[in-house]
């Protein structure tokens, strides 16, 4: 992926994440249509948000670094970002009427791990294809 495009996509993704995570509870939809029947649907949303974040960050870092370094950096940064956002919810509880939830943080970690697994597979296949072309 083009590096500049990746940076733009990551910036947009982070902006949307922060908007969703820090939006006041009363501004969020109560009924999400046909998805309402899925138990713990918000945990899937957390996993998806942080998985997308980690995937885009990994792709950005992987091009300039070894896969292992990009993997570790992305994992640590993504987990720290997840903890920071939950901490912000705790700190801003009176304003946004949301709270720190360990299960949200666990869902963030699961999303990061899944995304990094997918990112590693893609990076491996890309590097393998480059070697074949040479």
Per residue in 80-124, pLDDT tens? 999 999 999 999 888 888 889 999 999 999 999 999 999 999 988
CB-count burial class (<10 Å; 0-12, 13-18, 19+) for 82 = buried
Residue ranges making up the domain that contains 124: 3-15+42-133
The rounded distance, in Å, linking the Cα atoms of 111 and 96 is 24
Q: Which residue has the tokens 């491996």?
A: 124
Averaged confidence pLDDT in the chain = 89
- Residue 104, domain member (yes or no): yes
- Residue 20, domain member (yes or no): no
At 131 the pLDDT is: 73
The rounded distance, in Å, linking the Cα atoms of 1 and 8 is 12
Q: Which tokens sit at 30?
A: 């109560």
Taken in order 22, 25, 28, 31, is the CA torsion positive or negative?
positive
pLDDT grade for 32, boundaries at 50, 70 and 90 = low
pTM above 0.95, yes or no: no
pLDDT grade for 4, boundaries at 50, 70 and 90 = very high
Q: What total of structural domains would you count in the chain?
A: 1
- Residue 24, domain member (yes or no): no
- Residue 35, domain member (yes or no): no
State yes or no: pLDDT of 129 exceeds 70: yes
- Residue 37, domain member (yes or no): no
At 1 the pLDDT is: 65
């Amino acid at each position: 992926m083009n590096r500049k495009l990746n940076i733009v996509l990551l910036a947009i993704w982070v902006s949307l994440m922060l908007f969703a995570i820090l939006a006041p509870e009363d501004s969020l939809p109560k009924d999400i249509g046909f998805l309402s029947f899925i138990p713990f649907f918000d945990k899937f949303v957390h996993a998806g948000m942080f998985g997308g974040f980690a995937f885009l960050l990994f792709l950005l870092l992987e091009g300039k670094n070894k896969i292992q370094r990009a993997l570790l950096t992305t994992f640590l940064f993504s987990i720290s970002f997840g903890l920071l956002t939950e901490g912000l919810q705790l700190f801003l509880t009176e304003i946004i009427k949301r709270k720190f939830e360990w299960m949200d943080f666990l869902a963030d970690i699961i999303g990061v791990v899944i995304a990094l697994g997918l990112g590693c597979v893609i990076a491996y296949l890309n590097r393998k294809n480059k070697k074949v072309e040479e």
